[in-house]
Chains A and B, each alone.
Chain A
Amino acid sequence: MITLEKVRQRAESDAKTYGYFLNPNPDFLNDLLEGLKKNEERYGYPACPCRVASGKLELDRDIICPCDYRDPDVAEFGACYCALYVRKDIIEGKTSLEPIPERRPKEKQERAYAISAEDPREKPLETKTTIPQEPMQVKKKLWYCKQCGYVVFREDPPYVCPICKAKREMFAEIALDVRANG
């Protein structure tokens, strides 16, 4: 089982890597870390404590902390959606911390809500096998960063390249063209 200290250390180390800070309010920070710990225990991964997770890794990948929306949210509002990660001017009190609007696309949210409503545990055994999984499957593609060459296999390109910090616009899809000649 993961400890609260481990969750804290992970967040601290990530904040340091990206030049962010953790929320300056100790109680608020503690609540967020507790929330992450709880989500890691129930889903197996630290889904954002301020969002509804589906419990399906494929559908929750974008909201696993640090979420895909953290960097653009910190850049625009000074904090990520749950306000775990904040910018220096928030720490210094130069900018006030306000609730951050949800950046996660509506379609991703809808999918997560719908799938959690379809809890297989509550279904009789015979219907369980007949539910087609395909429509809920996420269509993944290969993306590469034109600046550093980083390659990632996922639904959408990341907002920011985790390696060189290039913006989303620098990502291009790798088109696979398989031909059988002869």
Chain B
Amino acid sequence: MKSMDIVKVAGKNNKHKILIYALSTCAWCKMTKQFFKDNDMEFEYVDVDLANEKDHEKIRKDIESRGAHPSFPTIIVDDKTVITGFRKDRIKEVLGV
């Protein structure tokens, strides 16, 4: 999943590798990004609607290959745990915050 328009946001808490598939127009996605910023956590995100259109299909397949239904935001923690939607409690549980 390299060579995409991945934006990196720096944070002091960088224990986990966090990737968010988001949409620039989605309010839930914005809330998710803000949550990680507020917790000073390092994360990467792709705004899929702004990404190269050729990557849309790649992203859909990546989400589905992880056993999830494509939906935004999709949060991938440490390349293995997938959280669909801004489920704060689940995010906290997985990240131990």
Task: Point out residues on A near B: beta carbons under 8 Å.
Answer: 28-29, 31-32, 34-36, 38-39, 49-53, 82-83, 98-102, 106, 109-110, 113-114, 116-117, 119, 122
Contacts and interface: CB of A to CB of B under 8 A. Distances in A.
A98 B84 CA distance: 12
For the side of the interface on B, what is the size category?
20 to 34
B87 interface: yes
Nearest to A30: B27
Nearest to B21: A52
B69 interface: yes
Interface stretch (B3-11, B12-20, B35-43, B53-61): B53-61
A101 B71 CA distance: 8
A39 B25 contact: yes
Contact of B53 (A50, A100, A117): A117
Given A51-B72, A52-B72, 16 more contacts: A29-B27, A35-B26, A50-B25, A51-B23, A98-B87, A99-B28, A100-B85, A101-B69, A101-B85, A102-B69, A102-B71, A109-B70, A113-B56, A117-B53, A119-B53, A122-B53
B69 A82 contact: no
B28 to A, nearest CB: 6
Given A99-B85, A114-B57, A50 B69 contact: no
Contact of A52 (B30, B49, B54): B49
B56 A117 contact: yes
A28 B56 CA distance: 25
B31 interface: yes
A22 to B, nearest CB: 12
A58 B25 CA distance: 21
Nearest to A31: B27
Contacts of A116: 53, 56-57
Given A28-B31, A99-B86, A49 B57 contact: no
Contacts of A35: 23-27
A139 B86 CA distance: 35
Question: Which among B30, B70, B87 has the greatest number of chain A C-beta atoms within 10 A?
Answer: B70
